[in-house]
Amino acid sequence: MAGFQGAAPLVRVRGETPLLPHPRRAADTDAMRLIAMIARRCLWMPPTLFGLLLIVFAVSHVIPSDPARIMAGENATADQVAAIRHQYGLDQSLPMQFLHYVDDVLHGDMGTSLFTQRPVAEDLIARLPATMELALYAMALAVLAGVPLGVVAALRRNTWFDHVVRLVTVAGLAMAAFWLAILLQLLFSMWLGLTPVQGRIDGWGPDPITGFFTIDAVLRGDWQTLFDAVRHLVLPTLTLALPAIATIVRFTRAGMINVMSSNFVFYQVAMGIPRHRIVWKYLLRAALIGTLTQIGLIFGNLIAGAVVVETVFDWPGLGSFAVNSILHSDYNAVMSFTVFAGVIFILTNLAVDIAQTLLDPRER
């Protein structure tokens, strides 16, 4: 590294001897490795996206014997079917159709909805904030409730508290989301009258800045709207969050129990470090790595769960768009929703991968 004797060291910072491994250079290579790692993860994006499009194309064009027939709807005449077949290029060879499809999607063109006659991509983007608002609040609730519950359940292992938490998590994972949604609606909206039955807001939402009603209301200082938006948010968020809470509790609890018996904890106890500090600082950090790996999966499940939850609460997001498209046999819209959800899912997983690389030194 330092070259032969008498030669100037390659990198020299004033006041430091070049004999020891250079601290800054070590940090540099570390950062380089990290960037390389992240770049490698990003490189997997295009093939995964390509595979996603291939699957959706196979589902929409190869499985059905006559896609034009399905696209045209049940009551279409032979002429209409033929027109659609020509209009969408379905009379070309399958590989050609696939190339056209990939080309269109890459240009942000997901075709036109057969029901609304509007570009599907526009509809999806317009509905994205509603779903995101719901999913992010559910995620926040899941983490804020799940992590402390998991920690306390681990600390009070096999007490009544642990058993109650376990019962709730087992039930939370086994409950059909649509059923929980309907029960909550029945109890809080219909019988107690505390929350609205359906919808995202009464009347029109605040003028969009971010598209998140709660944030927009705060930014505009419109507290009445904020209150209304929150009232509409409570039940769908709760429904969506419950399975996520259950997953986080289970992972946090298992992680905590796993770490609790390790040597560094004995050492810290012996050193007289206060118990709450050991638990909430050192133990939790080690235990949460396992939970973090699940965050990507949980978020994906939230987007998927939104399909059902939005339907019950008539929440104007991506999920209810997909279900409405199913009801109208709006074939193109359903397929585009699949691609869209897949892309969100892939991006989330990429972000989680990168976050994990940054947080967990063992990953490097």
Partner 1 sequence: MKRLLRDRSALFGLVIIVVLVLCAIFAGVLAPFPQDVTTYHLPRRLLGPNAVNYFGTDRMGADIFSRLLFGARLTILIAVIATSAAVLIGVPIGLVAGYYNNRFSDLLMRVSDVFLAVPQIVLAIAIAQTLGPAIQNVILALSITYWPFWARLVYAETRSVRNEVFIEAAVALGASPLRVMVLHVLPSIASSVIVRTTIGLGGTILVAAALGFLGLGPPPPTPEWGRMVAESREFLPQAWWYAAAPGLAILLVVMGFNLLGDGLRDALDPRLSRGNDGP
Residues at the contact surface with partner 1, assessed by CB under 8 A: 47-48, 51-52, 54-56, 59-60, 63-64, 70, 170-171, 173-180, 182-183, 185-186, 190-191, 246-247, 250-251, 253-254, 258, 290, 294, 297, 300-301, 303-305, 307-308, 311-312, 322-323, 326-327, 331, 334-335, 337-338, 341-342, 345-346, 349
In the bound complex, what is the minimum distance in angstroms from residue 23's beta carbon to partner 1?
37
In the bound complex, what is the minimum distance in angstroms from residue 348's beta carbon to partner 1?
10
Closer CB to partner 1, residue 217 or residue 341? 341
User: How far apart, in whole angstroms, are the C-alpha atoms of residue 127 and residue 337?
Assistant: 11
Torsion of CA 108, 113, 114, 118, to 10 degrees: -100
Asked whether the beta carbons of 154 and 260 are under 8 A apart, the reply is yes
Closer CB to partner 1, residue 112 or residue 185? 185
The identity of residue 277, as a single letter, is: R
Burial label, 218 (beta-carbon count in 10 A; 0-12, 13-18, 19+): middle
Owner of token pair 């950090």: 285
In the bound complex, what is the minimum distance in angstroms from residue 322's beta carbon to partner 1?
7
In the bound complex, what is the minimum distance in angstroms from residue 29's beta carbon to partner 1?
28
Closer CB to partner 1, residue 195 or residue 247? 247
In the bound complex, what is the minimum distance in angstroms from residue 43's beta carbon to partner 1?
13
User: How far apart, in whole angstroms, are the C-alpha atoms of residue 170 and residue 250?
Assistant: 9
Asked whether the beta carbons of 124 and 223 are under 8 A apart, the reply is no
In the bound complex, what is the minimum distance in angstroms from residue 50's beta carbon to partner 1?
8
Owner of token pair 């997953």: 247
Closer CB to partner 1, residue 31 or residue 327? 327
Q: 3-class DSSP state for residue 23?
A: helix
Closer CB to partner 1, residue 20 or residue 174? 174
In the bound complex, what is the minimum distance in angstroms from residue 169's beta carbon to partner 1?
9
In the bound complex, what is the minimum distance in angstroms from residue 191's beta carbon to partner 1?
6
User: How far apart, in whole angstroms, are the C-alpha atoms of residue 283 and residue 278?
Assistant: 6
Asked whether the beta carbons of 262 and 158 are under 8 A apart, the reply is no
In the bound complex, what is the minimum distance in angstroms from residue 232's beta carbon to partner 1?
18
Closer CB to partner 1, residue 212 or residue 340? 340
Torsion of CA 182, 202, 118, 334, to 10 degrees: -10
CA distances from 203 to 225, 228, 334 (A): 10, 10, 28
First to last CA, the chain: 24
Asked whether the beta carbons of 242 and 165 are under 8 A apart, the reply is no
Closer CB to partner 1, residue 130 or residue 298? 298
Closer CB to partner 1, residue 241 or residue 341? 341
Q: Which residues contact 283 (CB under 8 A, 6 or more apart)?
A: 151, 256, 259, 260, 265
Packing angle between helix 45-57 and helix 331-359, nearest 10 degrees? 160
Closer CB to partner 1, residue 218 or residue 297? 297
In the bound complex, what is the minimum distance in angstroms from residue 313's beta carbon to partner 1?
12
State residue 112 phi and psi, 5-degree precision: -105, 140
Give the count of beta carbons closer than 10 Å to the beta carbon of residue 70: 16
Closer CB to partner 1, residue 101 or residue 345? 345
